[in-house]
Amino acid sequence: MTQDELKQAVGQAAVDILLPQLEDKSVIGVGTGSTANFFIDALARHKGNFEGAVASSEATAQRLKQHGIPVYDLNSVAGLDFYVDGADEANRHLELIKGGGAALTREKIVAAVARTFICIADESKLVTTLGEFPLPVEVIPMARSHVAREIVKLGGDPVYRQGVVTDNGNVILDVHNMQIHDPRGLEEQLNAIVGVVCNGLFAARPADILLLGTAEGVQRMERTAH
Ligand SMILES: O=C(CO)[C@H](O)[C@H](O)COP(=O)(O)O
């Protein structure tokens, strides 16, 4: 199977989990990226069965609307039962690196609101130790050099993602060469740097369910305390 076929399979598997639980008034949190797009396309076939969605990016909002799925502002909904999104890396504790598509801040906000976060990914995303994928950090533009210097002190190599402005008007530093053995601790340390808006570690709020696309089929992993 190609990587796209694996992504499509997990997108469909997420819809299969949601479908029996959807009600007329359900609003679903929807992530960003190519895997999330397959989920949106599969979800659209059932658009009569739920009320609408909250999008984690402008790109996702546009795709949802193209399918005729109503998009709501997060402030206008009382809560979200589900958030479905991809990841750049996941470990066996369902801690993630996200933000390859620069949507990490809104993704983290929507994930924080959702009762259940279903992460969908092809098997190449599962790693033993997070950090091979450069960790995205969203930064207020005027703080870029300050934040970069502070990240160097933490042992990382920050690289400015040229030409990228987030939906929130900020810039991204991608942190290379970090073996992340304590994702929760590093998430807190990065958040404590003045000028950091958000970082791509999802450890304080990991996924609850990871659907992993493999050649043998979709593998389901659930979070256990550690
Ligand atoms: O965090 C993200 C966007 O900010 C995406 O979920 C992540 O980059 C994975 O993308 P894809 O599904 O295209 O591999």
Give which of 198, 213, 182 is closest to 14, Cα–Cα: 213
Please identify which of the residues 89, 107, 150, 187 carries the catalytic annotation. Answer: 107
pLDDT at position 224 over 90: no
pLDDT at position 82 over 80: yes
Which whole-number Å values give the CA distances from 102 to 30, 31, 92, 186, in the listed order? Answer: 15, 11, 24, 19
> What pLDDT shows up at residue 43?
98
Q: What is the pTM (predicted TM-score) of this model?
A: 0.97
Tokens of 104: 């990490």
**Is the CB of 59 inside a 6 Å radius of any atom of ligand 1?**
no
pLDDT at position 185 over 70: yes
**Is the CB of 161 inside a 6 Å radius of any atom of ligand 1?**
no
Helix (H) or strand (E) holding 148: helix 144-153
Helix (H) or strand (E) holding 62: helix 58-66
pLDDT at position 226 over 70: no
Residue 104 near residue 135, CB atoms below 8 Å = no
Percent of the chain with pLDDT over 90: 99
Q: Could you tell me which residues come within 8 angstroms of residue 65 by beta carbon, excluding any fewer than 6 positions away? A: 71
Name the residue with the closest Cα to ligand 1, atom 3. Answer: 101
Annotated binding-site ranges? 32-35, 85-88, 98-101, 125
pLDDT at position 170 over 90: yes
Q: What is the pLDDT of residues 85-102, one digit of tens each?
A: 999 999 999 999 999 999
Which of 3, 4, 6, 34 is the best mutation target for the ligand 1 pocket, counting ligand atoms within 8 Å of the beta carbon and taking the most?
34
- Residue entry with tokens 């994928």: 133
The dihedrals phi and psi of 63, each to the nearest 5 degrees, come to: -65, -40
How much is the average pLDDT of 63-78? Answer: 98
Q: What is the pLDDT of residues 29-49, one digit of tens each?
A: 999 999 999 999 999 999 999
Tokens of 207: 């996924």
What's the chain's average pLDDT? 97
> What pLDDT shows up at residue 191?
98
The dihedrals phi and psi of 80, each to the nearest 5 degrees, come to: -130, 130
107 is catalytic: yes
Query: What is the Cα–Cα distance from 174 to 197, expressed in whole angstroms?
Result: 14
Tell me the one-letter amino acid at 35: T
Cα(139) to centroid(ligand 1), Å: 19
Name the residue with the closest Cα to ligand 1, atom 7. Answer: 87
pLDDT at position 127 over 70: yes
Helix (H) or strand (E) holding 136: strand 135-139
Which of 4, 6, 88 is the best mutation target for the ligand 1 pocket, counting ligand atoms within 8 Å of the beta carbon and taking the most?
88
> What pLDDT shows up at residue 2?
96
Residue 90 near residue 132, CB atoms below 8 Å = no
